Structure 1
Amino acid sequence: MAEKKQPYNYAARKSALKKELEDGTFHRFYLVCGEEDYLRHQDGKWLADQLLGSGDPTMNRTLFTGKDFTADDVIGIAETMPFFADRRVVVLEETYLLEKAKADTDKLVDYMRSDAYPDSTKLVFVQKKVENRNGRLYRTLSSDAGSILECPVQSEETIRTWVLHQIRERGFSVENRAMALFLDCTGTDMLNVKNELEKLMSYCEGTGKITLADVKAVTTPKVTDRIYDMIEAITRCESQKALAIYADLLELNEAPARILWNLTRQYNELLCVQEMAGRGLPPRDIASALKLNPWVVSNRLLPVARQSGNERLRRSLELCARTDMRYKSGKISDRTAVETLIVTCAAKEGAS
C-alpha cells in the first residue's frame, strides 16, 4: 500500500532549508515559488544572502528578470569565478525560463546538468507561478541537485500568530477586539498586513498597547475580505450578521455605493466560479482563468457558489442592478438601498 503523501508545511520546509544552510549543505540550484508575494520576495532575498555569505554582493550577485536576457548571458555569469568569496549567486526573478518549454531554456538546462557547471555558482529562481512543472528545468530544480521552497497563501490562524509575534516583539499588548478588527481590515495578504501593522505600531509608539480605537484610526480596511464575509452570511440567511458587517464597513468610512459595487463584482465572480466548476474545471484552473488567488477560490468562493447555486446567484446579481438604479434615481438613499438589498438577498425564500 502506497504511503499517504503529507500536506506541504511551509514552516517545516523553511526550517529544514535553514538548517541545511547553517550546516554548510548547499545545492546547486534553488527555486522559491508560490502565491504569497511577501514570503516569496522575503525568502528569495534571504536565500541569496545566505548563499552569498560574507561575499561582496556588488561583485558576486547578479539579477536577471523578465525576458531581456538569454541563456548565454546566464551561462557567462555562472562560469565567472567568485571574487574573493566562496560562492557566486545568480538570481533569476519572474523570468520566462519556467514558462513553456523553449530552446533557450533547454540550453541552460543542458549546462546546469553538465560537468562544466561550477560548484561555486548557485542559481536561485524566484517565480510566483511555475507554468511548466513537467519541463526539464523544473525536473532539474526538483532533483537532488536542487531545492524548492514553496510559499503558499497562509491560513488566517497563521497570519494571526505571525502578527501577534511581531506585536509582542515590539513590546505592545493588543485588545482582542482590536486584533479581530485589524485582521478583518487587512485580510490575508501578508505584504498588506505587514505594511498596515508597521503603520499601526508607529501610531501607537510610546503607549505600549494597541486599542480598538487605534485600529479604527489608522488601519485601511481590505474591503474585499469583508464583502466575502457579508456574502457568506447572506448565503446562510444570516441577515443580522450581514447587516453588522455592513455597519462595520460604514463605520470605517466605506461608501455604500462602493460596497454595492464590490457586492456586484463578487457576485459576478461567484457566478463565474460556479459555472466553471460545473464544467469540471479544478480550482487552480478557475483561479488562473479569473486571475484570482487559488486559496480564495478554494476556500471562499467555491463553498459559497456551491451552496448558493446558479439561480440564486443570478437573482442576487439582478437585485444588485435594481438597487443601483433605485438609489441613482433618487427614490431611496444609497445607505438604505444597500441595507434593503442585504435583507432581501438573505431572505430564506431566496435561498436555493
Structure 2
Amino acid sequence: MDIKPENLISLLQQHKPLPQAQVLLLCGEEDYYRNSIIAALPEYVFGDTPEADREITVFDKQTDLAELMAAINTYPFFCGKSLVVLSDENLWAVHKKKNDNISVDNAEANEESINQQDEELDTKKNERLTAILTDVPDYCTVVLNGRKFDKRTKLYKALKQKAIICECNRIKEKQLPDWLNAQANTYGARFTYDAIEVIVDIFESVMEDLPLGILKQEIDKLAIYTAGRKQWTAQDVLNIVAAPGNTSAFAITNFVADAKLKEALEVMAIEKKRGTNILPLCARIQFKLRQLLRYHELKSRGYDYNSMMKELGLSSGAMSYVVKQSRHFNEKKLRQAIIAINEININIRRGGRDYGALEEVLIKLLQ
C-alpha cells in the first residue's frame, strides 16, 4: 500500500488504524518527512506505556540478520508491543566491487565475474531479509528507513504487497503554498497570499534543497508570535521567519526601514564579500518599500488607522511599527526606489551590476 507522507503523519498523530501496519517502508530524499514519521511512531505504537517499558530496537549499521530476526520475533514481556527501526541501508543496497589488480586484457571479463558474484551475495542477503520482513508477528512494527531503495529487488516487490510504502520526496516550489497552509492549519491559521510570496523569496536560494525541518521551526515561531491569530501576514513573516545563512537580509531590511543607511551599507559590504545572492535581499527590501508606500497611499486617501491595519493585513503591533517607519519616507522616493530595484533585478539576470547598484539606490533613498 502506498501512502503520502502528510497523510501518514496525520494518521499517526490521530492514532487511527493503519492497514498492513506490521512493516513500514520509508524512502526518499526528504529527511524531514522520514524523521517526523519515526518521531511519531513510538506514541502511536505504545500509547501511554511508560518509556522504560517500551521495546524499541534500532539497527543503523553492520546489522546482523540473526539479531534482527531475534528482535522481531521475541515477544515483548512488559508491554506486548515492540518497534524495530532498520536504518542500515547497506542491507538493501546493491554494491559493485572493483578489482584494481586485474590485467587490461581481462578487465572486462573479470569485472563482469566480480559483479556477478557480488550480486549473488546481495541476492542471498536480500532473500533472507525478505523472508524475515514478510513474516513479522502482530505484536511487532518494523520500519525500514533510507533515502534510496532499489525498486527492482525481490525485497521491494515483496514489501509492495505486504507493507505500507511511503515515498518521502522533496517538495517542489509549486507545492510549497499547500504545504505551508497545511502547517499553519495545524494551528488553526492560514497564510495570506503575500505571506507565501515572501517565504518563497526568502528561501529562493535554497529552493532546490528546501530545508523543511528548518522551515517548520520558523512556522512554530510564527504561531507563537501571532498568538492565536487566524491569518498570518507578510509582515508577520518578515518579522519572524529567517532562512539559513540569510539572516543578514533581515537586518539590512530593518536598517533600511529605519533609515539607518550606515548600518545597512556595512552589513551589505559583509554579504558582498561572502558572495551572497542579492536577489532575495532585493525582494525583501522591495516588499518593505511597497508596504510603506501602500501605507502612505491609504493615508492620503483618508483611511483611518483601523481601516489601514485591515487593508495591510497587519496586527496592531506590526501596524504601529509601520507607522513609525513610514515617517522616514515620502511617496515619491519610495516609488523611485521600487522602480530602481526592479531594474536591478532585470539587469542582474542579464549579467549587470548587483551590490553596487543596490547601494546607489539606498543612498538616494535614505540621504
Please tell me the TM-score bracket, short chain as reference. 0.5 to 0.7
Q: In the alignment, which of 107, 128, 131 is matched to residue 107 of structure 1?
A: 128
The residue that corresponds to 1:218 in the other structure is 240
Aligned ranges for residues 310-329 of structure 1 at < 5 Å?
none
Q: Partner residue of 2:141?
A: 122
> Any conservation in 2 of the 1:54–1:85 contact (CA below 8 Å)?
no
Aligned equivalents of 1:133 and 1:201: distance in 2?
40
Residues 28 and 146 of structure 2 are in contact (CA less than 8 Å); yes or no, is this contact kept in structure 1?
Answer: yes
Q: What whole-Å deviation, never above 9, does each CA across 1:59-102 have from its counterpart, x for those lacking one?
A: 44323243143112211211210234443221112542221237
Correspondence 1:245-324 to 2 at 5 A: 255-259=271-275
> How much has 1:181 moved relative to structure 2?
0.7
Alignment of 1:1-352 (within 5 A): 10=4, 14=8, 22-23=16-17, 25-100=19-94, 101=122, 104-113=125-134, 117-130=136-149, 132-143=150-161, 145-167=162-184, 169-170=186-187, 174-186=191-203, 187=207, 188-205=210-227, 210-221=232-243, 255-259=271-275, 342=348, 344-345=350-351
Cα distance change of structure 1 residues 56 and 139 upon mapping to structure 2, 3 Å threshold: farther
AA of the residue aligned to 1:43: I
Contact 1:51/1:89, CA 8 A, preserved across alignment: yes
Contact 2:25 2:144 in 1 (8 A): yes
Q: Which runs of 5+ in 1 are unaligned?
A: 1-7, 225-249, 264-337, 347-352
Contact 1:159–1:190 (Cα < 8 Å) also in 2: no
CA 1:120–1:200 in structure 2 vs 1: closer, same or farther (change >3 Å)?
closer
Amino acid in the other structure paired with 2:156: Y
Shift of 1:27: 4.0
Percent identical among aligned pairs is 21
CA distance in 2, matches of 1:213, 1:182: 11
Q: Is the 8 Å Cα contact of residues 34 and 127 (structure 1) preserved in structure 2?
A: yes
CA shift, 1:206, in A, is 7.4
Which residue type is aligned with residue 137 of structure 1?
L
d(CA) in 2 for partners of 1:147, 1:74: 20
| One-letter amino acid matched to 1:200 | L
Q: 1:79 to 1:60 in 2, by over 3 A?
A: farther
State the alpha-carbon separation in 2 of the partners of residues 175 and 46 from structure 1. 29
| Structure 2 letter corresponding to 1:147 | I
For residues 24 and 78 of structure 2, what CA distance do their matches in structure 1 show? Answer: 23
The gaps in structure 2 that reach 5 residues or longer are 95-121, 247-264, 280-343, 353-367
Mark the structure with the bigger radius of gyration: 2
* Per-residue deviation, 1:215: 2.8
Q: For 1:286-308, what per-residue CA distance to the aligned partner results, in whole angstroms no more than 9, with x for missing partners?
A: xxxxxxxxxxxxxxxxxxxxxxx
Aligned equivalents of 1:210, 1:111: Cα separation in 2: 49
Shift in Å, 1:125: 0.9
Deviation at residue 148 of structure 1 after TM alignment:
0.8
Contact residue 204 and residue 210 of structure 1 kept, 8 A: yes
Does the CA-based 8 Å contact 2:81-2:139 persist in structure 1?
yes
CA contact (8 A) 2:62 2:88 kept: no
- Structure 1 residue matching 2:36: 3-state secondary structure: helix
TM-score (norm 2): 0.51
* Cα distance change on mapping 1:10 and 1:213 into 2, 3 Å: same
Amino acid of the residue matched to residue 44 of structure 2? Q
d(CA) in 2 for partners of 1:189, 1:129:
19
Superposition TM-score, scaled by structure 1 size: 0.53
Deviation readout 1:88-135 (Å, 9 max, x if unpaired): 221112542221237555433333346xx53322211121221x3222
The worse-fitting range, judged by mean Cα deviation, of 64-73 and 208-217 is 208-217
Distance in 1 between residues matched to 2:225 and 2:346, nearest whole Å? 37
Deviation (angstroms), 1:28: 3.3
Alpha carbons of structure 1 residues 119 and 205: separation in structure 2 relative to 1, 3 Å: closer
Aligned to 1:255, what secondary structure does the other structure show? helix
